[in-house]
């Protein structure tokens, strides 16, 4: 997996010694936490040989870039394209609660799948932070993704409750299914869970940064050091 990664070239670019710690190859995430803003895209893209989109989700700047990208409403994540690309999501496999279970199982057991030789102490990351903190962060992302439709959804929920109170069985509308699907696709993209997507063009795009990213990028990981 790491045949295209040149550790010496990365260290040389930053003017760092060969024995520098954290090592870009054996402690990859810790290294990127410190130096991601200092590396250009053509160097950063080499880290895709030794990381996965799921693992890179732990880096705040990269999560922020993904969030800003989905909020530009890219065609590849739009309804028509996404439904053709990931039909299993549209067909309802994750509408019965299986999606939430899969996300939880991944966070608890597969977050570092196949990457323990590259991320060092990150193997203990999830045990260091409260599940409640992670859940709140996910809720915040959901709110931001859906902020343009909140009022409409509340009105629809109110109408649904009134109909249910009257004993009327209400089926989910096609528009509601579509909106849920679009939100699901965008959320899974942020967490590195969509197959067949070119994450590199987003993860290493400096144009998606804002001024406060550097101030917040290490907030989650201060205790790890």
For residue range 48-104, what is the model confidence (pLDDT) as tens digits? 999 999 999 999 999 999 999 999 999 999 999 999 999 988 875 544 444 455 555
**Per-residue pLDDT reduced to its tens digit, 162-206:** 655 555 555 678 888 899 999 999 999 999 999 999 999 999 999
Domain ranges for the chain: 7-224
Q: What is the DSSP string of the chain?
A: --TT--HHHHHHHHT--TT-SS-TTTBHHHHHHHHGGGS-HHHHGGGGGT--HHHHTTSHHHHHHHHHHHTT--GGGSHHHHHHH-HHHHTTTTTTSHHHHHHHHIIIIITTTT-HHHHGGGGGHHHHS-HHHHHHHHHHHHHHHHGGGHHHHHHHHHHHHHHHHTT---PPPHHHHHHHHHHHHHHHHHTT--TT---HHHHT-GGG--TTHHHHTTGGGGGG-
**Percent of the chain residues past pLDDT 70, beyond the cut:** 56
Q: What is the pLDDT of residue 175?
A: 87
What's the pLDDT tens digit per position in 14-29?
999 999 999 999 999 9
Tell me the two tokens of residue 20.
Answer: 């520098």
């Amino acid at each position: 997996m790491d045949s295209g990664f040149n550790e010496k070239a990365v260290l040389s670019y930053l003017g760092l010694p060969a024995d520098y710690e954290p090592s870009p190859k054996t402690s990859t995430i810790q290294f990127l936490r410190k130096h991601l803003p200092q590396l250009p895209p053509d160097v950063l893209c080499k880290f895709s040989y030794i990381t996965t989109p799921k693992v890179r989700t732990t880096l705040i700047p990269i999560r922020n870039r993904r969030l800003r990208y989905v909020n530009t409403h890219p065609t590849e994540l739009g309804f028509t394209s996404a439904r053709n690309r990931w039909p299993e999501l549209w067909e309802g496999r994750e509408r019965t609660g299986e999606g939430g279970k899969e996300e939880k199982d991944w966070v608890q057991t597969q977050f570092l799948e196949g990457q323990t030789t590259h991320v060092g102490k990150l193997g203990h990351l999830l045990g260091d932070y409260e599940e409640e903190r992670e859940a709140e962060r996910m809720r915040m992302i959901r709110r931001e993704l859906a902020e343009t439709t909140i009022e409409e959804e509340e009105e629809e929920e109110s109408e649904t409750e009134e109909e249910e109170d009257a004993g009327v069985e209400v089926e989910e509308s096609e528009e509601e299914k579509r909106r849920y699907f679009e939100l699901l696709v965008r959320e899974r993209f942020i967490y590195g869970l969509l197959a067949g997507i070119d994450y590199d063009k987003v993860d290493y795009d400096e144009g998606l940064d804002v001024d406060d990213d550097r101030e917040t990028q290490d907030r989650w990981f201060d205790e790890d050091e």
